[in-house]
């Protein structure tokens, strides 16, 4: 599967790099951007961008900007840049900020002398925003979305405005949306099919990813949907828990399961309760193991750079799961 899709991914990545390299007329500065905590004024085109959210390195790089520092989320890839974005990094060597959620190293950030701090996928509080704003203009998320729930298109547009590359942002968005739409059109069986993404929470509990998160929005853009019963349990949160007694709610058309290790995956596959589900009996489960898998990362990030990778590598797995033939192996 990867040998066939890799050339298409490479061509799209090359196209994005070429578009970024061509350049666009400089936007008029200062720029004012409204967000959850007020309005940020960016007086001039930023030259020293620091991303303190967990995925903003992707849209920043896609827009042709080399950040001076980025925040590590997971995976441990060099410079916190995953394979789908590596070509955009070039020879840049941004400092990697290792800051767990809720822990911002303000002095370290200030020492980087940023002229723009990007925090659209960070979950920062108003106090943290005010503190960061005393260091440099800080771009927070729009107020109409929950924390970590800003759609990738809106994230790309916001950052495009902040760095003076709005036209490029729209071109990038249109290109990715076209790729997703083509995949949806090629797979009419996706329309209305149910999907859930879960992982163990311990003691017989399971986390289920909510519909307002970027990954589930991506799956919805392909035509799949989270069952209403699960959506009701999760509500506006990014995830919710279900118990072993509610496990039947995971009996969907395709189930995405993330395990922390190979041992955890084997335990899941051997769980007698899970094995009773039709989705498991018919082999319609897509497994992710660990946190370094690029496909797992691409779906988790759900950005303008990672989604083309997700389309190329995840769509065939979804198609195999939903083809109605239990004999089809959903093989990674």
Return the CATH number at 14: 3.40.50.1980
Radius of gyration of the chain (CA): 20
If pLDDT is split at 50, 70 and 90, which confidence band does 2 have?
very low
pTM of the entire predicted model: 0.87
Report whether 258 contacts 201 (CB < 8 A).
Answer: no
Mean pLDDT confidence for 71-76: 96
Span 25-71, pLDDT tens digits: 555 899 999 999 999 999 999 999 999 999 999 999 999 999 999 99
With a cut of 80, say whether residue 161 has pLDDT above it.
yes
Whether residue 41 is found in the same domain as residue 159: yes
Provide the pLDDT for residue 27.
Answer: 58
Alpha carbon separation from 261 to 199, 228, 244, 291 (Å, rounded): 12, 30, 21, 9
Mean pLDDT confidence for 112-123: 98
Is residue 42, in this structure, part of any structural domain at all? yes
Residue 313 belongs to domain spanning: 188-322
- Pick from 122, 149, 179: which residue ends a domain? 179
- Higher local confidence (pLDDT), 220 or 18: 220
Span 33-46, pLDDT tens digits: 999 999 999 999 99
Whether residue 130 is found in the same domain as residue 243: no
Is residue 330, in this structure, part of any structural domain at all? no
Provide the pLDDT for residue 13.
Answer: 47
Torsion angle in degrees (nearest 10) through CA of 145, 208, 58, 60: 20
With a cut of 80, say whether residue 17 has pLDDT above it.
no
Report whether 248 contacts 276 (CB < 8 A).
Answer: no
Is residue 329, in this structure, part of any structural domain at all? no
Whether residue 165 is found in the same domain as residue 267: no
Mean pLDDT confidence for 228-235: 95
Report whether 58 contacts 301 (CB < 8 A).
Answer: yes
Whether residue 15 is found in the same domain as residue 152: yes
Mean pLDDT confidence for 204-220: 93
Whether residue 18 is found in the same domain as residue 139: yes
Two structure tokens written together for 269:
């596959």
Whether residue 149 is found in the same domain as residue 241: no
DSSP tag of 245: G
Is residue 81, in this structure, part of any structural domain at all? yes
- Higher local confidence (pLDDT), 329 or 57: 57
Provide the pLDDT for residue 5.
Answer: 39
Provide the pLDDT for residue 314.
Answer: 96
Provide the pLDDT for residue 135.
Answer: 99
Whether residue 25 is found in the same domain as residue 174: yes
Whether residue 168 is found in the same domain as residue 19: yes
Provide the pLDDT for residue 261.
Answer: 87
Distance (Å, whole) CA 231 – CA 223? 16
Provide the pLDDT for residue 175.
Answer: 98
If pLDDT is split at 50, 70 and 90, which confidence band does 126 have?
very high
Whether residue 287 is found in the same domain as residue 161: no
Provide the pLDDT for residue 332.
Answer: 66
Distance (Å, whole) CA 154 – CA 151? 5
Domain count for the chain, please give it.
2
Provide the pLDDT for residue 96.
Answer: 98
Q: What is the mean pLDDT of the chain?
A: 91
């Amino acid at each position: 599967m990867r040998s066939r899709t890799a050339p298409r991914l490479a061509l799209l990545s090359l196209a994005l790099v070429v578009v970024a390299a061509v350049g666009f007329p400089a936007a008029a500065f200062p720029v004012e951007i409204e967000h959850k905590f007020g309005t940020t004024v960016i007086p001039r085109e930023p030259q020293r961008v620091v991303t303190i959210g967990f995925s903003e390195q992707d849209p920043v790089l896609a827009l042709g900007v080399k950040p001076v520092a980025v925040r590590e989320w997971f995976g441990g890839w060099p410079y916190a840049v995953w394979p789908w974005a590596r070509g955009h990094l070039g020879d840049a060597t941004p400092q990697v900020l290792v800051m767990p959620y809720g822990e911002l190293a303000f002095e370290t950030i200030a020492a980087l002398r940023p002229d723009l701090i990007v925090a659209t996928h960070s979950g920062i509080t108003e106090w943290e925003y005010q503190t960061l704003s005393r260091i440099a203009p800080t771009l927070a998320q729009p107020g109409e979305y929950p924390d970590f729930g800003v759609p990738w298109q809106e994230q790309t547009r916001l950052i495009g405005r902040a760095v003076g590359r709005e036209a490029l942002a729209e071109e990038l968005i249109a290109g990715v949306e076209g790729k997703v739409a083509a995949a949806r059109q090629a797979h009419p069986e996706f329309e209305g099919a149910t999907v859930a993404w879960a992982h163990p929470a311990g003691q017989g509990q399971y986390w289920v990813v909510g519909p307002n998160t970027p990954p589930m929005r991506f799956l919805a853009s392909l035509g799949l949907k989270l069952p209403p019963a699960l959506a009701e349990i999760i509500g506006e949160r990014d995830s919710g828990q279900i118990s072993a007694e509610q496990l039947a709610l995971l009996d969907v058309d395709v189930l995405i399961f993330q395990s922390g290790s190979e041992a955890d995956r084997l335990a899941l596959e051997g769980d007698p309760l899970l094995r009773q589900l039709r989705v498991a009996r018919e082999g319609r489960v897509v497994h992710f193991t660990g946190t370094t898998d690029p496909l797992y990362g691409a779906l988790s990030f759900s950005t303008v750079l990672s989604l083309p990778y997700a389309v190329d590598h995840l769509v065939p797995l979804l198609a195999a799961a939903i083809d109605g033939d239990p004999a089809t192996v959903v093989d990674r």
